[in-house]
Amino acid sequence: MIAVDGPGSSGKTSVGAAAAARLGLRFCDTGLFYRAVTFAARQLGIGEIDVDRLVALVAQVRLEVDSTGRYAVVTLDGTDITADVIAPDVDAAVSTYARVPELRAALLPRQREIAAEGGVVMAGRDIGTVVLPDADLKVFLDASVEERARRRADERGIAPSSQAAMEILDQLRVRDDIDASRSIAPLRRADDAVTIRTDAVSFAATVDQLVAAIEAVGRAPRPLSGDVPRQSAPTAARLATAGRSGRVARRAAIDPTPIATRITWIIRIASFVIRVIARFFTEVVIEGDVDAIPRSGAVLVAANHASNADPVLIGGFLNGRLGRPMNWMGKRELFDWPVISWLARHGGIHPLDRGAADVEGFRTAMRILDRGNILAVFPEGTRSPDGKLMAAKDGVAVLATRSGALIVPIGVIDSDRLWPRGRRIPVRTPRVTVRIGEPFYLADVLAAADARGTEALAAANARGTEAVAVGDARGTEAPNGSRTQVDGAGRPSSGSRRRSNAAGTDVIMRRIAALLPPRQQGAYGPWQAD
Ligand code: DC
């Protein structure tokens, strides 16, 4: 449990969220609770002295965790109010409501509930002092009010010397004052907090500092007896010595699979064996520009999945040529088999629970990319029964968006003939082609498609190119009929994010489809039937 406190616009949220994402921890900005209640109260005309009605609002507010582990969506009675809670009028009023002791008391268990299972970075004003006095690490982020006002103006596109920028500075001063002077849980640095001043430090450097502090906590040895008093020494001192609660360490230990970062002898031998066996059954042809795949940095390889042979051939034939290994997300069941599990662990395969939205698996995937490695994924989620592309899940688009990784599409052709579903061993097949497409950044393609505008979009729609996907984002139906405008419960919550994820998925899948023969283009091809 990591507590990050600090005044408004000190960077708690952006820095905290980035550090959490890098380490695979959840992130919760508790200010969202106060903002949500403030928004609701103002809508209903409930003032700060109307305490009972104010407290009653707490039950209607929910923070929903997204697939990346961030509590990013705010709902009020099931309606998405994420955008409303950062409106200027909420900015101006929230500190007044946040000083109501009964409201703070009602929100306390809600925050502790989120932190209870650990593995969380929680940001606010009183996390280290009141909400999580037992936090494994307490950080106080601080910067001068002028610097914070400048950042906030910058975020909102306001010129630094304008009247609006002056108002932001004034408002921040007032909020600081109210937050720091209230009688209950005032903004205050916990005695055992580590202070990080962010005035003259870049965003990236601040994130690095926080990540390092959290990692130091995670690495510190756990007490042998387990009964070292947890609040016996200031956190900074405890960081340097033993005696951590070990909660972070235990969590890190759960991550069962090391990230493959270099070609080990196991990977080298496995790749060699794969190539020898493959040669017996087929001729594997690698097409496209292998050299266009960077030798360093985050790369997301996205391929169609028609056969068990796909990962074997892609890894076996490309790892050596890339000079670094691919990491894979593999079904969790692989890890139930002793020998296979050992090979998987040492071959850069990481468990993914395919039955549910696997937050842990997603974090592992993010960690692989954040640390600048290659991750290979099958966006369809499972093998296609007939070799044709199936409608894909949005997980890969979310990964691409969150990580900003370069995407390399790969089309594997005729692997379904080499090793059809249900066969125990492969069938002799003249050739299997692994075709590498041109690498691209998802954000670039979406932005370019967006900039082309509606007319180009209509034309592209007719041609069936990736811009169709952006058409989907704007409410026209994609050819594969995948509409994701509302979620299962029919709520508009996070609808636009879902739409843009669906658009991203379509872009990626069309790039893969373009590498496949019509026979295999399935849901993403202009040719629906052979
Ligand atoms: O961090 P923020 O600007 O979103 O927070 C909004 C308000 O909520 C802020 O004025 C103080 C209050 N707040 C609080 O009192 N305690 C917290 N743990 C988080 C926020």
**Domains along the sequence of the chain with CATH:** 1-25+120-231 (3.40.50.300), 30-118 (3.40.50.300), 265-440 (3.40.1130.10), 444-514 (no CATH)
| Continuous H helices in 99-188 | 101-115, 145-155, 163-181
Other C-beta atoms within 10 Å of 163: how many? 9
3-41: burial string, b at 16+ Cβ within 10 Å, e else: bbbbbbbbbbbbbbbbbbbbbbbbbbbbbbbbbbbbbbb
Judge whether residue 489 has pLDDT over 90.
no
Query: Looking at ligand 1, which residue's alpha carbon is closest to its atom 2?
Result: 31
Interval 206-230 mean pLDDT: 64
> What SS3 class is residue 50?
coil
Strands 194-197 and 26-29, by their bridges, are unpaired
Residue with tokens 């606010």: 124
Residue with tokens 């007032």: 174
Query: Looking at ligand 1, which residue's alpha carbon is closest to its atom 9?
Result: 95
Task: Report d(CA 409, CA 226) in Å as an integer.
Answer: 49
Q: Which residues contact 354 (CB under 8 A, 6 or more apart)?
A: 331, 332, 381, 382
Q: What is the pLDDT of residue 491?
A: 32
CA of 98 to the centre of ligand 1 (A): 7
Residue 89 has which token pair?
């009028």
Residue with tokens 């974090």: 363
Tell me the pLDDT of the chain averaged across its residues: 82
Find out whether 227 and 284 touch, Cβ atoms under 8 Å. no
Q: What is the pLDDT of residue 479?
A: 35
Task: Report d(CA 437, CA 479) in Å as an integer.
Answer: 22
Q: What is the pLDDT of residue 244?
A: 35
**Residue 256: which pLDDT band, with cuts at 50, 70 and 90?**
low
Residues with C-beta less than 6 Å from any ligand 1 atom: 8, 30-31, 34-35, 94-95, 98, 124-127, 175, 179
Q: What is the pLDDT of residue 5?
A: 95
Judge whether residue 190 has pLDDT over 90.
no
Nearest Cα to 368, choosing from 399, 409, 331, 322? 399
Nearest Cα to 414, choosing from 429, 398, 428, 425? 429
CA of 189 to the centre of ligand 1 (A): 14
Task: Report d(CA 149, CA 286) in Å as an integer.
Answer: 54
CA of 234 to the centre of ligand 1 (A): 25
CA of 95 to the centre of ligand 1 (A): 7
Residue with tokens 């209870």: 116
Q: What is the pLDDT of residue 481?
A: 35
Find out whether 304 and 516 touch, Cβ atoms under 8 Å. yes
Q: Which residues contact 421 (CB under 8 A, 6 or more apart)?
A: 307, 383, 385
Query: Looking at ligand 1, which residue's alpha carbon is closest to its atom 10?
Result: 95
Residue 328 has which token pair?
């894979």
pLDDT tens per residue, range 96-145: 999 898 999 999 999 999 998 789 999 999 999 999 998 999 999 999 99
The answer to whether the predicted template modeling score (pTM) of the entire model surpasses 0.85 is: no
Interval 474-480 mean pLDDT: 34
**Residue 182: which pLDDT band, with cuts at 50, 70 and 90?**
confident
Task: Report d(CA 319, CA 264) in Å as an integer.
Answer: 11
Q: What angle do CA 438, 397, 253 make, to 5 degrees?
A: 110
Query: Looking at ligand 1, which residue's alpha carbon is closest to its atom 20?
Result: 31
